[in-house]
Amino acid sequence: DTGVSQNPRHKITKRGQNVTFRCDPISEHNRLYWYRQTLGQGPEFLTYFQNEAQLEKSRLLSDRFSAERPKGSFSTLEIQRTEQGDSAMYLCASSPDRGDGFGYTFGSGTRLTVV
């Protein structure tokens, strides 16, 4: 499978718990992105990695959110002390290093429900 893989597909957690999501991008893609999508809305940008370097972060990425991409391969997104407002679909995307957002490929997302 050469697509973007995200795990888990679904996560239900209690408010206040920490959660971690994983994204495995297309192997030859240097660029990796995290987005968040709530019902009826378009995806909102969270953060961007070029290889292992986190180069851009949205104001949406509060102190409770942290993302890593060790060795420039897979990435993890952790949310600490989850709140009900964190319930959303978390999407990962990757693209080749051609610039201009060419050919972003999205994964199927991780749906987070905070109860």
Partner 1 sequence: EDQVTQSPEALRLQEGESSSLNCSYTVSGLRGLFWYRQDPGKGPEFLFTLYSAGEEKEKERLKATLTKKESFLHITAPKPEDSATYLCAVQTRGATNKLIFGTGTLLAVQP
CB atoms within 10 A of CB 25: 26
Q: How far is the CB of 38 from partner 1 (least distance, A)?
A: 10
Judged by the rule CB under 8 A, the positions of this chain that interact with partner 1 are 4, 31, 33, 40-45, 48, 55-56, 58, 91, 93, 100-109, 111
Judge residue 35's burial from the number of C-beta atoms within 10 Å of its C-beta, 0-12 exposed, 13-18 middle, 19 or more buried: buried
Q: How far is the CB of 16 from partner 1 (least distance, A)?
A: 27
Compute the half-sphere exposure of residue 49: CA atoms within 13 Å on the CB side of its CA: 27
Q: How far is the CB of 32 from partner 1 (least distance, A)?
A: 10
Specify the residue, 19 or 93, whose C-beta has the smaller distance to partner 1: 93
